[in-house]
Amino acid sequence: MRAEAFQSFRDFIGATSTDESAPFLLDLYRDLSAFSHVCTTLRLSSSCISSTYLLKTSPSRLALPISLRGPVLSCLYDSAAVGHPLLEPLQALHADIYTKYFQPFVQQKLVEQVVARLASWKAGLGWTGKGPGGGPSGGGGSSGMGLSMASTDGLAECYCLTDPSQRDNPITLASEGFVELTGYPLHLVVGRNCRFLQGPGTSPESVKRLHDALAEGRNVTSLIFNCASLSLPFTGVVRATS
């Protein structure tokens, strides 16, 4: 991980975790990983030097005097024997960091990109769902609630908006890409709650997190594993704001 990305991830952990020592857990993982790499390099280098210059069958073997050969061999053998039982601790740290912090971090970054695109589109077109010519830009229903690929500059690859102020938080606007991905025509999407896309692989914990946040008026972001009309799975980034 590059220094800038590492610092961004570390800052995220510090800002979102209730444990003040959590960022140091990431530091520990980084430093132990570096130490493990150094140990591995040392072992491989020691074996390479020994087999190249001191092994009897090597074409590059040097006939060093015993007074020099002994200390060199001793040092190389000691270095080659360096061991560090760090594999299991590193794996455990990796799993802990990935589950607790990295997944939410990736979700936030994805949402930031989507929100930036949405803000750019909103500034240019407003919330009417109509293009510059005044007509519906989605072409998928009399309500004009479809968004064209061109008019949203990539945002419409797959996107929908819901209105939690209405009963059952229905979808009020959907993009061409959303319609294409899910396989449902626009008139079967608008007006329905997003739960109709849930399938066997949808995590109940993710759904509950969204439900609780909406009920309490909190902002929340989550990745939801859904199913399209032909039972094809896809993952969506869901952002609920109060």
Give the per-residue pLDDT at 82.
74
Residue 220: C-alpha distances to residues 99, 107, 138 (Å)? 17, 10, 28
Give the per-residue pLDDT at 97.
93
23 and 78 part of one domain = yes
Closest by CA position to 49, among listed 82, 84, 75, 67: 75
What is the residue range of 20's domain? Answer: 3-102
131 and 221 part of one domain = yes
Mean of per-residue pLDDT scores for the chain: 81
Give the per-residue pLDDT at 108.
78
220 and 122 part of one domain = yes
Does 145 score more than 80 pLDDT?
no
Q: Which of 23-32, 112-121, 127-136 has the lowest mean pLDDT?
A: 127-136
CA 195/CA 214 separation, integer angstroms: 14
Give the per-residue pLDDT at 68.
92
Mean pLDDT of 166-186: 91
Give the per-residue pLDDT at 202.
86
For the ranges 24-28, 122-126, 236-240, the one whose mean pLDDT is highest: 24-28
Does 200 score more than 80 pLDDT?
yes
Residues above pLDDT 70, as percent of the chain: 81
User: Which domain-ending residue is among 81, 102, 123?
Assistant: 102
Chain mean position to CA 75? 44
79 and 126 part of one domain = no
48 and 98 part of one domain = yes
User: Count of CB atoms within 10 A of residue 216's CB?
Assistant: 9
Q: How many domains does the chain have?
A: 2
Closest by CA position to 234, among listed 170, 163, 177, 185: 177
Contact criterion met (CB below 8 Å) for 34 and 21: no
84 and 115 part of one domain = no
187 and 156 part of one domain = yes
Give the per-residue pLDDT at 144.
41
Give the per-residue pLDDT at 78.
86
Closest by CA position to 176, among listed 157, 194, 196: 157
Does 151 score more than 60 pLDDT?
no
CA 146/CA 174 separation, integer angstroms: 5
Which residues lie below 8 Å from residue 182, measured CB to CB, with a gap of 6+?
A: 189, 197, 228, 229, 234
Does 10 score more than 90 pLDDT?
yes
62 and 177 part of one domain = no
Does 73 score more than 60 pLDDT?
yes
Mean pLDDT of 172-200: 91
CA 115/CA 161 separation, integer angstroms: 12
98 and 142 part of one domain = no
CA 85/CA 82 separation, integer angstroms: 10
Residue 173 DSSP SS3 = strand
Mean pLDDT of 104-118: 74
User: Which domain-ending residue is among 102, 119, 142?
Assistant: 102
192 and 225 part of one domain = yes
Helices (H), 98-185: 103-125, 176-182
Closest by CA position to 174, among listed 132, 236, 100, 104: 236
236 and 131 part of one domain = yes
Task: Identify which has the larger pLDDT, 83 or 168.
Answer: 168
